[in-house]
Amino acid sequence: MPRLSDSMEEGTILRWLKSDGDPVRRGEPLVEIETDKANMTYDADQDGEVEIIAQEGQTLAIGQPIARIRAPGEGSADPSGSGRGGITSGPAPSAVAQEPVTAPTPVRSDGRGTPEAKRIKASPIARRIAAERGVDLRALTGTGPGGRIVRADVEAAGASSAPAQEEEARAPAAPAAPAQVPGAGEVERAKGEVSSQELTRSQQVIARRMAESRATIPDFVLHAEIDMEECQSLREQLKQLGADQPPPSFNDMLVKASALALREFPRVNGSYRDGRFELHSRVNVGVAVATEDGLTVPVVLDADRKSLGEIARASRALAERVRTGVITPPELSGGTFTVSNLGMFGIKRFSAVINPPQAAILAVGAIEPRPAVRDGAIEARRLMEVTLACDHRILYGAEAARFLARTRELLEQPLALTL
């Protein structure tokens, strides 16, 4: 099992693209793997014949064997010929590779090994919910990109079968034992029916990393209000200049402004690790994107060196790849700072949780006309509130405040963003 992202600990075999014994060439797609961040196709690293060890649906830790590429005519390393055992001949990749392969988890035994199921285009969460609810994916019509079956399709199918389930629930049942204490069970009945929902791999990682952040990072927050009138004016000018291209969004301007400020304040772009500061030479800004499973943060690499137009195009492409489920782990890795914007939902101000090991995250609220004093007179101005959450182990109040002030200065005089 290859490591396909910096936070990956295990992966699930979604689909083999080659059969046992098939020839394969180096660089040819071999297998689809579900990681904590995305589904990714892994390519063969050498020429030969495929000997499959891990079956579809199995979840394995990093380093455990999933297949062997043998020389043509060499024969199987598994004496039983089942393809399930460990490698018994030839050099072992590593000590961990000789551990026994774990059995498939019940939640994933959804029939994907059959030829019919392999042709079904469905998201991993749709497959899992279908397996839990007994929904036949072959009977569904996908509404996702390219006809892909998504979570909503499975839930809608489950809702349509609810009457039959209710009829079954009305069947006579054995009388319940009397409660030991008067009023026992009232609390549970007050909540109504309770259903349990397993976390997706992405949600598990988010939960673990956010708990880690809150438990280990002593953070503090700084608030600022930014006048966005000049950004609005610049955006209108850029819109007129590039009629065939959408103008950069306010979020693109935030990414550019924070990237330029990060270059001036390297600790904000750094990390605290094991009692030392790590300062990064590249400025890679993550942009939080809401997804069906939670939150995904694709990364705009070298944002300080990209033009505003390049950032706008990169951000749009990354967000689209996230929403269509084709984002790759490399596009989600390497972030040194994060911008999280909830302004489109009308949120004025919020505090975001730092994404370890980053030193800070910028939470962005809505841009709204508000009364402001300008040249001694009160007038309506487009104002936006931002909140910078900082890791106090590497950032101190004054430096963080200077970084935030520099970001505000760049946005209030945005011509510098176009240079």
Residue 144 lies in a domain: yes
Residue 194 lies in a domain: no
Six-digit token pair at 48? 């030969």
State what percent of residues in the chain have pLDDT above 70.
79
Q: Which residues belong to the active site? A: 392
CATH code of residue 146 = 4.10.320.10
- Same-domain status, 23 and 66: yes
Q: Of 59, 85, 106, at which residue does a domain stop?
A: 106
Cα 287 to Cα 186, 269, 298, 335: the distances in Å are: 45, 15, 6, 9
Split into its structural domains, the chain has a count of: 3
Domain of 142 in residue numbering reads as: 118-164
- Same-domain status, 128 and 61: no
Cα 73 to Cα 22, 48, 81, 97, 416: the distances in Å are: 11, 9, 14, 24, 64
Six-digit token pair at 238? 């850029």
Six-digit token pair at 71? 């020389």
Q: Which residue has the higher pLDDT, 178 or 94?
A: 178
- Same-domain status, 360 and 221: yes
pLDDT at 68: 92
Band (77; pLDDT cuts 50, 70, 90): low
Least confident span in 148-157, 272-281, 328-337 = 148-157
- Same-domain status, 20 and 144: no
- Same-domain status, 224 and 273: yes
Average pLDDT over the chain reads 82
Residue 37 lies in a domain: yes
- Same-domain status, 233 and 343: yes
- Tokens 């050498």, residue located: 46
Under DSSP, is residue 368 helix (H, G, I), strand (E, B) or coil? strand
CATH code of residue 307 = 3.30.559.10
Residue 177 lies in a domain: no
Alpha carbon distance 320, 299 (integer Å): 13
Residue 111 lies in a domain: no
Alpha carbon distance 74, 48 (integer Å): 10
- Same-domain status, 285 and 403: yes
- Tokens 């007050």, residue located: 190
Band (188; pLDDT cuts 50, 70, 90): low
Alpha carbon distance 28, 132 (integer Å): 34
| Range from 19-33, 280-294, 303-317 that averages highest in pLDDT | 303-317
Band (163; pLDDT cuts 50, 70, 90): low
Alpha carbon distance 133, 131 (integer Å): 6
- Same-domain status, 143 and 52: no
- Same-domain status, 251 and 388: yes
Residue 187 lies in a domain: no
pLDDT at 138: 84
Helices and strands (DSSP H and E) totals, the chain: 10, 17
- Same-domain status, 246 and 393: yes
- Same-domain status, 391 and 286: yes
Residue 82 lies in a domain: yes
- Same-domain status, 150 and 98: no
CATH code of residue 74 = 2.40.50.100
Average pLDDT value for residue range 87-111: 37
Residue 178 lies in a domain: no
Average pLDDT value for residue range 46-68: 90
pLDDT at 183: 56
